[in-house]
Each structure stands twice: as C-alpha cells, then as structure tokens.
C-alpha cells in the first residue's frame, strides 16, 4: 500500500537531504552528488559518522526484534529514510509474520522507493508526512490502513528528532504522538549528541544548515525527557552499541566515538 501524494517536481535535488546523506553514510546508492558532497564534508570533520550510522541502524534492528518478541504486532516507523535492508518490516516479520508496519517520511525520494521496497505486502504501508505535524501523521490514511490505535503500537523515532529545531518543540511532538498510543505501547528512540565531542560539530552543523533539515544535537539531559510517560526499559538511555548488544563489545576508544543515544520505553 502506498500513498505518495507528490509530483516529480516536488523532489528537491538542489540541496542535500539528511535521508539521502544517511543513505550515503550506510554505503547506499540512493543519493545525489549534492548529498555525497555534503556527506563528505561531514565525514571530514566526523570520520566516525559511518560506524555511528551503522551502530544506530543495528540498534533499530535489535529494538524492533525486542518489541515484537514482547508481543507488539504494530509498528509506526517515522523518519524511516531511504530503504536499507533489512528494513523494519523485514526484521519484525522475521519474528512474527503478522506484524503490520506503517512507514512515514517527509521526503518524496523515500516515497518513490516505498512501493518496490517497503510496501510489498498487505501488512505494510507508507505515508508521506512530516513529524513536525504529529496530528496529521496520526490521521494519515496511509497509517490508518494498517494501524489500529486501540491496540499496542511500537513507535519508532530513530535518528529523526535531531532534525527538529528547539522552536519546533520536539518534546511536544513526542508527547502528542505518545498520547495516541494505548497502554502496552513502546517508544523506540535514538538521537544524535555531542556529549562525546566537546568541541561540537561546527562544520557538520553548517552543512546541515544548507540542507533540507538542520542538525540539532542534544545532551543526555535533554534527550531523556522524551521518554516521559514511558517506563524506560533496561539498560535505559545509553549509547546505541550498549543497548542489549550482540557480538563482541566495542573498546572504550571505539565507544567514545559513537555520538548517538538510544532507548526503549513502555507505556503503562
């Protein structure tokens, strides 16, 4: 099921787009020269951005597997980005084939890939919508086709809120989305931080200022309140490689380069 709702003229290839830059960090090919040039500037300042993006993607896979194993059968993945296999529905349906997944993104480029790579079954859908307008996200027919908000839902906000400016009230956005979720729902959230980079990312911030969304890293203390109203499950809000890791642990030096926090909360 797809609901693109855009024309080719709406696809902006004149400015870098965070979803396409993220695709480049992950080694994907669904990006343009303007995205690659911008991403290389970021890599020049933050060479660990590629392993950081990969660690964040691995967190998403582990968290989705966890919530489905916990009994969740509905997932809303907001800010899904360019499809990267295994995608959310592939991870979820490998655990339980009856899981329904609604993808949401505000980039028409993502929508152009949704039909072929995200919405191949009756249990998946795509909505072209913006997290900055949470009410419209919740009411979008592309979500309502597969999601029943009377039953528990896993809400994924993975690597998306750091593209929301403070004046756009990310806390209000999360609270509005959370209010629509019934008891037993889960929030899966990750967010970029400069906590481990004392000098910040001046070049990266400048690059994203010329992109279609700005970069707004936040500290642990500013990210934690996004889980208000949820029981933060073990091990809490941690750097993403530390959230229920699989495989060998990272060294302290490797871990110190991962500027992403992630966590999973349950609504009681």
Strand partners, 191: 261
In angstroms, the CA 230 to CA 228 distance is 5
> What does the pLDDT profile of the chain (268 residues) look like in tens digits?
444 444 445 566 788 988 889 999 999 888 889 999 999 999 999 888 999 999 999 999 999 999 999 999 999 999 988 888 899 999 999 999 999 999 999 888 787 776 666 776 779 999 999 999 999 999 999 999 999 999 999 999 999 999 999 999 999 999 999 999 999 999 999 999 999 987 888 889 899 988 888 999 999 999 999 999 999 999 999 999 999 999 888 888 889 889 999 999 999 9
Question: Is 247 within 8 Å of 241 (Cβ atoms)?
Answer: no
φ and ψ at 225, to 5 degrees? Answer: -65, -15
Start-to-end Cα distance in the chain:
31
In angstroms, the CA 48 to CA 133 distance is 32
Strand partners, 158: 190
Closest CA to 102 of 123, 133, 83: 123
Question: Is 243 within 8 Å of 63 (Cβ atoms)?
Answer: yes
Q: What is the pTM of this model?
A: 0.91
Closest CA to 70 of 246, 268, 266: 266
* Strand 260-266 relative to strand 74-78, pairing: unpaired
Q: Which residues of 61-82 are buried (b: 16+ CB within 10 A; e: fewer)?
A: bbbbbbbbeeebbbbbbbbbbb
φ and ψ at 262, to 5 degrees? Answer: -150, 155
Question: Is 188 within 8 Å of 264 (Cβ atoms)?
Answer: yes
Question: Is 228 within 8 Å of 263 (Cβ atoms)?
Answer: no
User: At CA 165, angle to CA 159 and CA 170, rounded to 5?
Assistant: 65
* Strand 186-192 relative to strand 154-158, pairing: parallel
């Amino acid at each position: 099921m797809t609901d693109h709702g855009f024309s080719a003229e709406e696809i902006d290839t004149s400015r870098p787009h965070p979803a396409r830059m993220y695709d480049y960090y992950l080694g994907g090919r669904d990006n343009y020269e303007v995205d690659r040039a911008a991403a290389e500037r970021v890599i020049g300042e933050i060479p660990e951005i590629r392993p950081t993006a990969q660690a964040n993607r691995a967190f998403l896979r582990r968290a989705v597997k966890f919530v489905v194993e916990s009994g969740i059968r509905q997932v809303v993945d907001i800010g899904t980005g360019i499809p990267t296999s295994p995608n959310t529905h592939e991870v979820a349906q490998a655990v339980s084939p009856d899981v329904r997944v609604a993808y949401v993104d505000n980039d028409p480029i993502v929508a152009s890939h949704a039909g072929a790579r995200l919405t191949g079954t009756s249990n998946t859908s795509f909505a072209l919508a913006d997290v900055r307008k949470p009410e419209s996200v919740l009411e979008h027919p592309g979500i309502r086709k597969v999601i029943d908000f009377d039953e528990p839902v896993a809400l994924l906000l993975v690597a998306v809120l750091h593209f929301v400016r403070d004046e756009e009230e990310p806390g209000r956005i999360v609270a509005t989305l959370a209010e629509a979720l019934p008891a037993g729902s889960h929030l899966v959230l990750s967010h970029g931080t400069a906590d481990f980079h004392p000098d910040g990312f001046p070049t990266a911030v400048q690059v994203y200022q010329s992109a279609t969304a700005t970069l707004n890293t936040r500290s642990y203390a500013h990210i934690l309140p996004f889980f208000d109203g949820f029981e933060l499950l073990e091990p809490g809000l941690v750097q993403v490689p530390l959230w229920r890791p699989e495989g060998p642990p990272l060294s302290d030096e490797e871990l110190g380069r991962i500027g992403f926090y992630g966590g999973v909360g349950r609504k009681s």
